[in-house]
Amino acid sequence: MNLIKVISNEESIGGLEITDNSLRFVILKKDHTGIKALALAEEKLTDKEGLTNESVFVSKLAKFAKTNKIKYIIITIPSDNIFVKTFNFPVAMPDEKVAESMRLTIDLQLPKKPEEIYCDWMKTEDDSEKKTLLSYVDKKYMDRLLAAVKKTGLKVVAIETHAMSLARAIKQVKNEAVLLVEKGTLNTSFTVLVNNNVFLSQSAPNEKIGVNLGIEITKIINYQDWINVSIKNLILIGNFSEAETKKLPLKINPVEMADGIKLITKDSKWLTVLGAALRGLITRKDDKIISLMETGTEKAYKLEKANSIANFFIGISVGLSIFFVAAFVATWSLIVMMQNNYNKQITSFNLLPSSENSSLLNDKATAFNSLVSQASAIVRKEAYWSKVVAEAKNKTVDGVTINNMSLPEPTGVYSVTGTADSREDINNLKKSFESSDLFTDVNIPLNNLGKKTEIPFSMTFQIKSNNLIYTK
């Protein structure tokens, strides 16, 4: 795998929607013509084929992954039993104080203990206040889901709720609050959206709501403490009966997809998973959205980058080790074979007359000693490339990702290619290599002058002295 494929989103990241009765998958691709769907797939589930029947659940996930050759997914799950709340802070309040306040909220004010949940928060846009959205999910449920997904070979990039995915996929009018009501097989979720951000999300069993949908909507309209704006728009997603929609306090608006995904499908059942797949198009380092996993999105990005770099250098070290072990074995085998051949020839000299035997034996022995000396010199001159790799790894600075390194003859020119977060990082890399006791003639040509971030570069250098890598 390329060192930065996942980090830069060259590796496709699909969306997976889990509902009470189905699994939906979408893979999106964005290019100069817009956003296109590389895959749209749906697997129906019965009551006994969800997580309660893990083998069926896993087999259907694995089928999608194999068919579409995808490794990475963003999962969107129902809002049932998921806590969502918006907290308001003064604009002048420093970000570190906001973070401290959120940590105290998690420790002291939530209905569940911190060790029982996976919790995350994110800042949402607002001109007058610093709004922070917090969400958590039960740890046991999430661990069970992740364990099932892991068996398929899929890697989970992030997990969010249906409400957050829908907020990304539905077109909204700026500063107008929308009440989104999504009906599932067992529960109905109520979500308030403003400027494509979630401000409230709660669920209730369908059997409890019955035909009193209008009463539940009225309760939410009249509860203004969480948003301080009036709700005038209502969107329904799912199968609602005529009795349920007969007396509603708001006019039902048609569902309109966000501009970027209008041409993909007109069926609203794909809205949620499309929202999750849209998140997959965001570069990993820019994804600061809530993720209901043990590791948040920002930390997960840094860990993924560090692991990729470490695996890259481990791969080089292992490859070089195998190569030089094979070279040593081949050299030793050659010496043994030569020795055996000469032993046979020397033995055959006993059949020759004494004078001829003495002359030929002397010539052959001289030639043999010369070849053995040459072979011994080859063994003694074996370069320890692990020194070069270890020093390159040690001198690589933060903000720089190494993609490839060429290893020529010891006296040759070494080359390294990669990407840097900024030009300052490139300069720091050059200074770091120049400070090495092993490297010299470090050169990084100027190119890609128009790019400000994620700058590709190439660098060359040489070894100060061959003796430095010919000895341990």
With contact defined as beta carbons under 8 Å apart, do 118 and 293 qualify? yes
Let me know if residue 306 belongs to a domain. no
Give me the phi and psi of 69, to 5 degrees please.
50, 55
Q: Domain count of the chain?
A: 3
Kindly state whether residues 259 and 329 are assigned to the same domain: no
Q: Provide the 10 A C-beta neighbour count for residue 234.
A: 18
Which of 380, 395, 426 delimits the end of a domain?
A: 380
Let me know if residue 304 belongs to a domain. no
With contact defined as beta carbons under 8 Å apart, do 271 and 237 qualify? yes
As given in the structure block, the two tokens for residue 33 are 């013509």
Kindly state whether residues 321 and 374 are assigned to the same domain: yes
DSSP 87-128: EEEETTS-HHHHHHHHHHHHHHTSSS-GGGEEEEEEEE--SS
Kindly state whether residues 368 and 394 are assigned to the same domain: no
**295: CB partners within 8 A, 6+ apart:** 303
- Say which CATH number the domain at 55 has: 3.30.420.380
Walk along the chain (472 residues) and give the pLDDT tens digit of each residue. Answer: 444 444 455 578 899 998 878 889 999 988 888 888 888 888 888 765 556 678 888 888 888 888 888 888 999 998 877 888 888 888 888 888 888 888 888 888 888 888 999 999 888 766 667 788 888 899 998 999 999 999 988 889 899 999 899 989 988 888 888 999 998 888 899 988 888 888 888 888 988 888 889 999 888 888 755 556 678 889 998 888 888 888 899 988 888 888 778 768 778 888 899 999 999 888 877 888 888 888 655 555 555 555 656 666 666 666 667 776 777 777 777 777 776 766 666 555 454 444 455 555 566 556 655 654 554 444 444 556 777 888 888 888 888 888 878 777 777 888 888 888 888 888 899 999 999 988 889 998 877 666 777 888 888 988 887 776 665 5
Kindly state whether residues 390 and 371 are assigned to the same domain: no
As given in the structure block, the two tokens for residue 99 are 């973070």
Let me know if residue 341 belongs to a domain. yes
Range of the domain at 21: 5-294
With contact defined as beta carbons under 8 Å apart, do 367 and 375 qualify? no
Kindly state whether residues 425 and 287 are assigned to the same domain: no
Rounded (10°) angle between helices 139-150 and 54-68: 50
Kindly state whether residues 228 and 87 are assigned to the same domain: yes
Let me know if residue 300 belongs to a domain. no
With contact defined as beta carbons under 8 Å apart, do 328 and 382 qualify? yes
Let me know if residue 305 belongs to a domain. no
Helices (H), 196-266: 206-209, 213-222
Which amino acid is it at 169?
A: A
Q: What is the pLDDT of residue 352?
A: 47
- Say which CATH number the domain at 413 has: 3.30.1360.100
Cα distances (angstroms) measured from residue 397 to each of 425, 427, 429: 7, 10, 6
In whole angstroms, what is the distance from residue 128 CA to residue 89 CA?
A: 9
Of the candidates 11, 14, 3, the one whose C-alpha atom is nearest the C-alpha of residue 274 is 14
With contact defined as beta carbons under 8 Å apart, do 442 and 459 qualify? yes
CA 101 to chain CA mean position, Å: 29
Q: What is the pLDDT of residue 234?
A: 92
In whole angstroms, what is the distance from residue 316 CA to residue 291 CA?
A: 33
Which of 331, 352, 380 delimits the end of a domain?
A: 380
As given in the structure block, the two tokens for residue 407 are 């290893």
Q: Is 280 helix (H, G, I), strand (E, B) or coil?
A: helix
Of the candidates 385, 414, 417, the one whose C-alpha atom is nearest the C-alpha of residue 401 is 417
Q: Is 44 helix (H, G, I), strand (E, B) or coil?
A: strand
Kindly state whether residues 215 and 170 are assigned to the same domain: yes
